[in-house]
Each structure stands twice: as structure tokens, then as C-alpha cells.
Structure 1
Amino acid sequence: MFSVVIFQAFYESAGIERIRMKKKKLFIVLFVVVIVIIFYMAGLEKYASLDYLKLRMSEFIDYYNTHMLFVIFAYAAVYIVVTALALPGAAVMTLAGGAVFGVYIGTAVVSVSSTIGAALSFAGARYLFRDWIESKYKNNLVKFNEGIEKNGFNYILFLRLVPLFPFFIINLVLGLTRVKLKTYVLTSWIGMLPGTFVFVYAGKQLSGIDSVKSVMSGRVLLALSMLGLLMLVPLLYKKIKSKM
């Protein structure tokens, strides 16, 4: 379970046997663990399935038509929590956004919500773990952080565009670097937009979708991957030019 991994990492990073754990950090970790435990104990993951979405879709649409703003804000709040804590269901919720809200509103709501969730996950990892990581691997991270500071936009955009890297891992790992929060938020928003649009658009044809994986066809994956690789071209050019 992801929450267990997070707790173990924090336990090791804080060095409980050697130093006192800061109360604020301990509270945050326990709060996250409690939420995740409640999520699974209550069986809430069943509501994040494609079958459940198809079964209740007409009800969701009817409720949205009569309580538009409430549904949008409630949906956004849940989406932010799901992405920030890496709970299952983000992909299905994105499809639901397209099916209920339509392509344009759905893309806007999902895009903003996913970016906020990513920023919270990023900030959480930075606050809880970065000091310990830097104190233990400072010499190894110097060059890496220099590269991130100079070319963070290109690196993050590449990672966001290529749908081969789990987003929550990107959030956690980059939270341990020196990349600025505003750079991370802006680049993540831009980089996640194409993939978000693909899923939201697919949600409009929800009845024809058999699985979440079927949304990302080979052509779509190839197109996004090629777009991501283009972000690395300027960096490769700089390196080749510096060696000439």
C-alpha cells in the first residue's frame, strides 16, 4: 500500500531512534495515513471503477444539470485529494469529467484540479523529505540540482508529456530537488494538458470504452512520446555544441 511506503520512508528519514520527530511533520504523515486507511477500509475504491461510472452515469449527468456549480466544486475537491495522495481513480474521474461536464469544461476542471493535486504532492514531499535527502546525498545531488535549475522546464515537460512515468512518482521525486514550485506548477499544467484532453474527450464516448488502458492507443502514446522527446532536443543541442 502506498501509504505504508510513505510512512516507512518518513520513519527512516526522520531517524526516530536518533532524534525527535518534528510534531508538524508527524501530524501530516499520520493524517495522510489515516485518510488512506479510511479510503480502503470503507471500500471507496469500488466507486473509482469504470463499471460503476457507466452504471451511474445517467444519474450523475441529471444531478449535474440541476446542481452545476456544486458538482463542479465537489468533483474538483475530490480530484485534488485523489491526485495529491495518489489514490486510485484519477483516470476514471477524468473520463467522468468528459462524460458529465463535456470536453471544454471537463478539460478545464480536470486540468486545474490535477495541477493543484500535483503541487500539493510535490510540496509535501519537499517539506517532509528533502532536508534529509540532501543531508545524506548532498554531494551526489549537486550536479543534478544544477541541471534541474537550468533546464527544469524541459525536463519536467518531458516527464509530463510521456505517459510512461507514474505522475505521483514524478511529484515525489521532483519535490526532493531544487526546482522552483512556480516552475513545477506551470510546466506540469502545460505538460499534462494534452493527456488530460485525450481522456476527457474519450469520456464523451464512455459507452465504447472497455478499459482505462484502451484510451491510450498506440498512436496516442507515440504522439505524446514524440512531443515529449522534442522537449529534450534543445538540451541535446547544447551538449553537442559544447563538445564541438
Structure 2
Amino acid sequence: MADTPTPLWRRLWPVYVILLGLGVALSQGWHEYLTVESLSANAVTLDAMVREHFLVVFASYIVIYAAATTFMVPGSALTIGGGFLFGLALGTPATVIGATLGASILFFASKTSIGAVLRDIAGPFIEKMRAGFAENPVSYMFALRLIPLFPFAAVNIAPGLLGAKYRDYLLTTFFGIIPGTLAYTWIGAAVKGTLLQGGTPDIGSLAANFVPAFIALGAVSLLPVAYKKLFPKKVPA
């Protein structure tokens, strides 16, 4: 007798968890702490908190980022927050470690019974990635990290479902996300630098701190073009 398919409403449990988390955050007003006005008013306080309780805040940020990655919550704002809290030199590795941990959880989860649910999430992209994995898994996974042609969540899930080795997945994830992480972290560090100097977050006052960050972000945006020129046959389809 054929197994009865799992009802769709049960397979969507990750969505329920995410919605629950967002509901709690909104009900508690946590989103208000991410506004420019709130960051401006609390820049000195947050800086002092990081200095006084660095290890706790640093570890908590990594855990939160890992959880956000695991539950496929977009991390750009959180990455900027990492730059705001820790600066460029420490915010970048904190984010890279947190994102890699979360991606690793998804990789191993794809090997379990949860893999069926994850396959449904990444389904539209898996077949598009299959040929690239068959040709050169390491090069392809690294390209996927550098070139954002597919959603970050799908890129986290698909390798495990396509049989990638965890060692290759770990290395390509860790090193492949560094350029993008660096650029967004730089933006957060630029905002913090301006606010701690007593400035206001307008274009004029942020210009001096933001120029390096914008250059970094521009360089990251050009990576797909450069990669296509250097490796025309290995660009994700």
C-alpha cells in the first residue's frame, strides 16, 4: 500500500515558526530598535554594552545569526547590525561564522527526514543547479556564493540534497560569503562611526564614512561580471 502523502499544511511548519517569531518580535516592539532614530539615540549605549559584555554580545550575535540563517530569514539588515555593533574587523567574522553555522544546520537537516520539506522550498532551483554540481561541485558552490543568482536559502539547501561533501560545502560557504558580508558590515560600521562622532544619519554627514563602504559594495556587485569573464563556462545557469 502506497504511503499517504504528508498534508501540505504539515509540510509548511518552517513557515509557521518564522511567522510566530516575527509575530513575537512585532508584538514586543523589537522592530522599533532597528530604526535610524533608535540607533542614533542608543549608539553610545550600545557601544558601551559591547565593550563591557563583549563575549556575551559577540556570542549572542553569532547564535542569533545562525538561527536567522537556519530559518531562512533575510540577513542583510542583521549583517549591517553586526557592523554597527562590532565594527568592520570583528563584525565581518562574527557574521561569517554565524551564517556558516546556520547554513551547516540546513545542510545536515537536508540529510534527514526534514529534507523533504527543504526540497519543496528549494525545488524550483535544484534542477537548475544539478548540471553545475555534476561538472565541478567545489567551483560551482563557490560561484553560487559569489554570484547571487539564486536565493541564499536555496543555495544553503541544494548542495546537501545534491550530494555535496560537507567539507567542500563548509569551505565554499565560509570563504564565498566574505566579500558580500564585508561590504554590508562596512555600511553598519560607517553608520556607527558617524553617530558616535555626534553626526546625524543624512547623506552629507555619512558621506566620509560611507565612501569606502559604497566602494566595497560596488566591487561586490561587479563580481558576477568578473566571474563570467574569467570562467564563462562555469557560471550558474
Length-normalised TM-score, structure 2: 0.69
RMSD of equivalent CA atoms: 3.7
For the structure 1 residues 72 and 146, does the alpha-carbon distance in structure 2 shift closer, same or farther, using more than 3 Å as the test? same
How many residue pairs get matched?
A: 204
CA distance in 1, matches of 2:118, 2:55: 43
CA drift at 1:194: 0.6
Change beyond 3 A, Cα 1:50–1:174 = farther
How far, CA to CA, are the matches of 1:98 and 1:233 in structure 2? 34
Q: CA deviation at 1:43?
A: 3.0
Query: Which position in structure 2 is the counterpart of 1:225?
Result: 224
In the aligned structure 2, how far is the partner of 1:228 from the partner of 1:234?
A: 10
From 62, 82, 86, the equivalent of 1:101 is 86
1:151 maps to: 136
Q: 3-state SS of the aligned residue for 2:136?
A: helix
1:57 aligns with 2:43: yes
Deviation at 1:150, TM superposition (A): 4.4
Identity between Structure 1 and Structure 2 (%): 23
Once the two structures are TM-superposed, the CA of residue 54 in structure 1 deviates from its matched residue by: 4.4
Following superposition of structure 1 onto structure 2, how do residues 41-120 of structure 1 map, counting pairs within 5 Å? 41-44=23-26, 46=31, 49-51=34-36, 52-88=38-74, 90-120=75-105
Cα drift, residue 161 of structure 1:
0.7
Q: Within 1, Cα distance between the matches of 2:44 and 2:220?
A: 30
Question: What amino acid maps onto 1:78 in structure 2?
Answer: I
Determine the C-alpha separation between the residues in 2 that align with 1:66 and 1:132: 40
Distance 2:151 2:159 in 1: 13
TM superposition shift of 1:123: 2.6
AA paired with 2:70? Answer: A
2:163 to 178, 181, 192: 178
The whole-number CA distance in structure 2 between the counterparts of 1:47 and 1:123 is 34
Alignment of 1:128-147 (within 5 A): 128-129=114-115, 147=132
Q: What TM-score results when the alignment is normalised by the length of structure 1?
A: 0.67
Task: Verify: 1:16 aligned to 2:2, yes or no.
Answer: no
Q: Structure 1, unaligned stretches of length 5 or more?
A: 1-12, 18-25, 237-244
Choose from 139, 151, 156 the match for 1:166.
Answer: 151
Structure 2: gaps (5+ residues): 195-200, 204-212
Kept in 2: contact 1:152–1:179 (CA 8 A): yes
1:40 matches 2:22: yes
Deviation string 1:154-194 (CA, Å, 9 cap, x unpaired) is 11111111234321121123332111122111101111001
Structure 2 SS opposite 1:226: helix
Work out whether residues 160 and 188 of structure 1, in 8 Å CA contact, stay in contact via their aligned partners in 2: yes
- Describe the superposition over 1:24-64 as per-residue Cα deviations: whole angstroms up to 9, x where unpaired: xx8x975x455323312213472584535445333221111
CA distance change for structure 1 residues 147 and 197 in 2, over 3 Å: closer, same or farther? Answer: closer
Runs of 4+ in 1 over 4 A off after TM superposition: 52-55, 130-133, 143-147, 207-210, 215-218, 233-236
Deviation at 1:85, TM superposition (A): 0.5
CA contact (8 A) 1:97 1:107 kept: yes
Distance 1:209 1:114, change over 3 A: farther
Question: Which amino acid in the other structure matches residue 86 of structure 2?
Answer: F
Aligned residues of 2:183 and 2:220 also touching (Cα < 8 A): no
Contact 1:118 1:171 in 2 (8 A): yes
CA distance in 2, matches of 1:184, 1:38: 30
Deviation readout 1:113-156 (Å, 9 max, x if unpaired): 111111212332342236997xxx9xx97x97575154111111
Alpha-carbon distance in 1 for matches of 2:24, 2:187 = 29
The one-letter code sitting in structure 2 at the alignment partner of 1:16 is: T
